[in-house]
Amino acid sequence: MRTFLRGVTPALLAGVLIATALVLFQAPAPVRVLAFAVLALAAGLSASRIVRGRAGLTDDDADVGYSLPGVVVLVLMLAVVLALSVLGIAIDTPGIAWATGASAFALVVVAHVVAGPPAWPTAPRRALGPVLAVVVLCAAVAGAAAMRPAQVERYTQLSVDETPPSVGGGERVSLGWTLLGYGSALPAAEPPVEVVIGGRRLPEVDAETGAVTATGVQGAVDQRRGTVAFTAPDGAGIYDVHVKVGAADWSEIVVRLVVNQ
Amino acid sequence: MTDAPTQRIARVTDEAPTERIDLGAAETQVIEPIRESTPDVPEPPPARVRWWTSWPFIVATSALGILVVGLSYRLAEEGGNANIRYGVFWAGMLLAAIPVTARVATGDRAGGAWGVALLGVLTYVPKFLRNPDGPAYHDEYAHWRQALDVLGSGQLFRPNSIIPIVQYYPGTSGITAAVHELTGLSVFSAGQLVLFTSHMLVLFGIVVLAQVHLRSPTAGALAALVYALNPSEMYFDTQYAYEGIAIALFVWALALTSIAARSTGRRRVAALVTALLCTAACLATHHLTTLFMVLLLVVVVAVVSVRGWRTRRREGRVPEGVAVWWILFGGTVGMGALWTTFVATPTLTYLSPYFGGSVEQLSDINTEQDTSRVVLAPSPQPLWERGLTALAPVVVGIICLAAILMLRKVLKQWRADTLVLMAYGLMYFPAVLFLLAPSGAEGARRSWAFTYLGIALIAAFVIPRWRARRPVRWWSRGPVLTLAFVVVLVGNVGGGLNDPYRFPGPFRWGTDTNSASAEARTVGEQLAARAGRVRVVADRYTALQLVGYSGLRVAAPSEGFPAWELVQTGADPNPRLAADLRGSGFDYLVVDTRMAEEASFIGDNYGPTDPLIGQATPRENLDRLDRVPWASRIITTEHLRVYKLDLFLLGANLVEDGP
């Protein structure tokens, strides 16, 4: 018991509990990344010690000792989600946090029993060089990523709010439309609106064009909404209706209008 | 014989005192005796560390090299001369990779381990910089969407319309979901973290495997270095997809089993159990990796058993390790059979075209030139890189030939499992032939990451022997080996993925990567917002955006379900297809008009059954959709059109005259 309390094991167990709590309480991402590192190290190093046993590192084991924790973490993460799936527990933050925390805790305890108390890491001075190298390389990667020019696509999207239902001959038909601007703001000038039915342009349509407003659509800069109303043809049949909003060739919606007698 | 390893350790640690790693008990412990004869491996003394192999210089050149690779991507993004961006890319990569390679080749153990770690970083960075923020490769969209759906639903085994088989292999999405939930990183970043970890684990798994089999610390690092040259290493196996993860588990299952086969008692059991756990995880992650493992294990157990039987007859004892390989083989086959029978039932159907089709097409090459793939055909890839791609197998072949010549006289001195793993590498050469077959190109590419494991062992076996010869011949001197390294590195990367996969660039129709556009993405998001996760017919490039970002379900055209008829013919779909589309709920069609502006870069717009392979879609085919009664254009941008389909109106007539 005295060995247990003096060793690294209590610190590892406390680390596992704290890390699990941080994940469960949805701490900010940078904190959770550290919490994950604690869980992964505790579970991975313990499992690695269980595999190697009390004999410690042999020559062959040196690289195994450094790498096996990573392998164990991969397998453990998969085992956790598969177990949750088999047990019918949702794969979400609480489920994964509890399962991972419990697994890490159990591995630390089993490693203590099977392989004895772990030792504190030695020679931290030797870590200075690798840490500096990691910082330099990360800076280089960030610099290389920053060299890429930012790509902004500028385009407009036109959509009809809903396709028209079947109507009777001569009835009024109203279609709503929405223009969304991406990458740049929509032009301030109102777009011309015209309607072509069965290949013939309607001389008169009731077009209401709203102002450019902010939009909640993800990625879009702004939007303009409007409606266009016209009288359906008298004759029964299926008509193609082209509603053109703006001057660009592509900027039209094409719907089928079924006119009943 | 028993003392030899101890002497080697003493030599390594004595002659490189300043570079020693903390081996802990290793420096005082005697390695377990090898119970089957293993020849002594020449271990050349570590070379002196010079300024160009010192760590400050290596790290500085690596950082500079990474920046130069970033510059090459900037040049690619801006378009322009391909020779320049390829030249800049390789200038950066070689600037970064050659000094660290030289350090690994010095032979000191600590330098080797850190060198392998740095090589792991350097071979991961190009793909990471290619698309650090989101998916770009075909398989990345599939796995990213899968992870999103797992997280969204809280359940594994969600359907996947980009790669349907992914549904039955939850390893990648499950691990990503776990890391995402634990770290709070974005799903793609969590996936990158998993892939980076796996990438490093593969290289260190090779280190362990080679050390165990070749009994030499130098050979371990050297094998990892050679493995890092395999054509899949830099781009294919670093993409966010299942093979990159599974291959780490594959390598570690082999490494741990090799350790178990050479150990006794508790250590053997622990290593074997861990190996079986790795196999199980591999099984739940990737079908093809599992298949390659089974194929390898079949040969290993066969050869190990025959050797064991002959030894027992001759010497009256059974060599150790035979049972260990049988247990791994039995475990893999048993678990694989259970998984494919009860969980991943469509696996065999999914995999069969890769093999049957390739063999068939390979046999047709002599008679039907049109069906064969033109190797390295129209591509911005410079001629010099293509030349090195052709040269790389030759260099590898010379090394393998040397290994065969060296081994033939001492074959019986080597353990059977070591020889089989080396022989596995020779499968690389027939796989190169498969590049000539259209679908075999995919199968060939997939095999390289596995067969190079054997190549790595062979090279790690041969090169130290060359260098240990006195006097050292010209062909085993540093400059020649460096040249061989450059040829194989450049050539293999060139033979891996195509230009749009390797380099970012301006929009180019017909590539999975550079045909991606915000336009397609936001159109998909708008459609999903108004209609939900509906079923859609779309070309294969737009489909990636629609599925990846919006979770729409996209049709997979085939001969029995030619959904491309809506666009790739100038006529209405046949009634049977219309009925299938209606019955399956495919109520929307998304068209990118750029398919009418140029032919697809990779050939087709709707998969292998597309009737217009190699041709742009006629503009008239797209424009007629505005004149048929069964389609309404409800969302439009400059290039994208979304049609709501009402196939009950197929055959109806539009009224020609308006009011």
B588 and B633 Cβ atoms separated by less than 8 Å: no
A144 is a domain residue? no
Residues of chain B with CATH 3.40.50: 518-649
Tell me the chain A residues in contact with residue B95 when contact means C-beta distances shorter than 8 Å. none
Sort strands B535-538 and A193-197 into parallel, antiparallel or unpaired: unpaired
Any B CB within 8 A of A131 CB: no
SS3 B471: coil
Task: Based on the fold, state whether residues A165 and A119 are members of the same structural domain.
Answer: no
Domain containing A56 equals: 2-123
What confidence category does residue B312 fall into, taking pLDDT thresholds of 50, 70 and 90?
Answer: confident
Alpha-carbon span B289 to B249, nearest angstrom: 9
Residues 6+ apart with CB under 8 A from A64: A48, A52, B208, B255, B259
B513 and B506 Cβ atoms separated by less than 8 Å: no
Q: How far is B506 from chain A (nearest CA, A)?
A: 10
B658, A202: Cβ pair inside 8 Å?
yes
Q: How far is A10 from chain B (nearest CA, A)?
A: 22
A181 is a domain residue? yes
Residue that has been written with the tokens 């054997």 in this structure: B454
Task: Based on the fold, state whether residues A95 and A204 are members of the same structural domain.
Answer: no
Tell me the chain A residues in contact with residue B25 when contact means C-beta distances shorter than 8 Å. 55-58
Structure tokens, A228? 């266009």
What pLDDT score does A55 carry?
64
Tell me the chain B residues in contact with residue A71 when contact means C-beta distances shorter than 8 Å. 201, 205, 248-249, 252, 274, 278
- Which residues 580-609 on chain B approach chain A with CB closer than 8 angstroms? 593
The DSSP annotation for B184-239 comes to ---HHHHHHHHHHHHHHHHHHHHHHHHHHHH--HHHHHHHHHHHTTSTTTTTTTTS
A136 is a domain residue? no
Q: Residue B158, by phi and psi: left (phi above 0), alpha (psi -120 to 50) or beta?
A: beta
The DSSP annotation for B159-178 comes to --SSSGGGGG-THHHHHHHH
Closest chain B residue to A178 measured between Cα atoms?
A: B635
Closest chain B residue to A122 measured between Cα atoms?
A: B22
Residue B39 backbone phi and psi in degrees, to 5: -65, 155
CA proximity to B458, closest of B534, B505, B394, B406: B406
A184 is a domain residue? yes
Q: How far is B3 from chain A (nearest CA, A)?
A: 13
Mean of pLDDT values over A246-254? 91
For residue B1, pLDDT over 80 is answered with: no
A28 is a domain residue? yes
What pLDDT score does B368 carry?
46
Task: Based on the fold, state whether residues A100 and A168 are members of the same structural domain.
Answer: no
Tell me the chain A residues in contact with residue B205 when contact means C-beta distances shorter than 8 Å. 67, 71
- Compare CB distances from B174 to A81, A90, A250 and report the shortest one's residue: A81
What pLDDT score does B16 carry?
30
Residue B614 backbone phi and psi in degrees, to 5: 85, 0
A136, B522: Cβ pair inside 8 Å?
no
Residue that has been written with the tokens 């890092």 in this structure: B228
Tell me the chain A residues in contact with residue B259 when contact means C-beta distances shorter than 8 Å. 60, 64
Task: Based on the fold, state whether residues A6 and A119 are members of the same structural domain.
Answer: yes
Asked which of A101-110, B225-234, B317-326, B457-466 is least confident by mean pLDDT, the reply is: B317-326
A42 is a domain residue? yes
Any B CB within 8 A of A199 CB: yes
CA proximity to A219, closest of B528, B519, B637, B545: B519
Tell me the chain A residues in contact with residue B277 when contact means C-beta distances shorter than 8 Å. 75
The C-alpha angle B487, A136, B93, rounded to 5 degrees, equals 15
The CATH number that applies at residue A201 is 2.60.40.10
B119 CA to centre of own chain: 17
What pLDDT score does B435 carry?
63
Asked which of A76-85, B256-265, B360-369, B446-455 is least confident by mean pLDDT, the reply is: B360-369
Indicate the residue among A123, A141, A169 that finishes a domain: A123
Task: Based on the fold, state whether residues A114 and A181 are members of the same structural domain.
Answer: no
B123 and B230 Cβ atoms separated by less than 8 Å: no
Complex-level ipTM: 0.91
Q: H-helix or E-strand containing B553?
A: strand B553-554
Instruction: List, for residues B512-571, the tens digit of each pLDDT value.
Output: 999 999 999 999 999 999 999 999 999 999 999 999 999 999 999 999 999 999 999 999
- Compare CB distances from A70 to B200, B267, B517 and report the shortest one's residue: B200
B73, A91: Cβ pair inside 8 Å?
no
- Compare CB distances from A70 to B155, B201, B529 and report the shortest one's residue: B201
Task: Based on the fold, state whether residues A7 and A113 are members of the same structural domain.
Answer: yes
CA proximity to B480, closest of B398, B387, B386, B390: B398
Task: Based on the fold, state whether residues A252 and A168 are members of the same structural domain.
Answer: yes
- The CATH number of domain B518-649, selected from 1.10.287, 3.40.720, 3.40.50, 3.30.470: 3.40.50
Mean of pLDDT values over B104-108? 80
Alpha-carbon span A243 to B499, nearest angstrom: 42
Sort strands B535-538 and A252-260 into parallel, antiparallel or unpaired: unpaired
Tell me the chain A residues in contact with residue B210 when contact means C-beta distances shorter than 8 Å. none
Residues in a beta bridge with A194: A244
Spell out the alpha helix ranges (H) of B318-415: 322-342, 347-352, 358-364, 383-407
A142 is a domain residue? no
- Which residues 149-168 on chain A approach chain B with CB closer than 8 angstroms? 149, 151, 153, 155-160, 163
Any A CB within 8 A of B659 CB: yes
A157, B178: Cβ pair inside 8 Å?
no
Residues in a beta bridge with B642: B590, B635
Domain total of chain A:
2
Q: How far apart are the first and last CA of chain B?
A: 101
B252, A234: Cβ pair inside 8 Å?
no
Tell me the chain A residues in contact with residue B526 when contact means C-beta distances shorter than 8 Å. 157, 159, 180, 217
What confidence category does residue B475 fall into, taking pLDDT thresholds of 50, 70 and 90?
Answer: low
B415 and B199 Cβ atoms separated by less than 8 Å: no
Task: Based on the fold, state whether residues A172 and A243 are members of the same structural domain.
Answer: yes
Residue A193 backbone phi and psi in degrees, to 5: -125, 130
Residues in a beta bridge with A226: A177, A209
Tell me the chain A residues in contact with residue B627 when contact means C-beta distances shorter than 8 Å. 240
A33, B32: Cβ pair inside 8 Å?
no
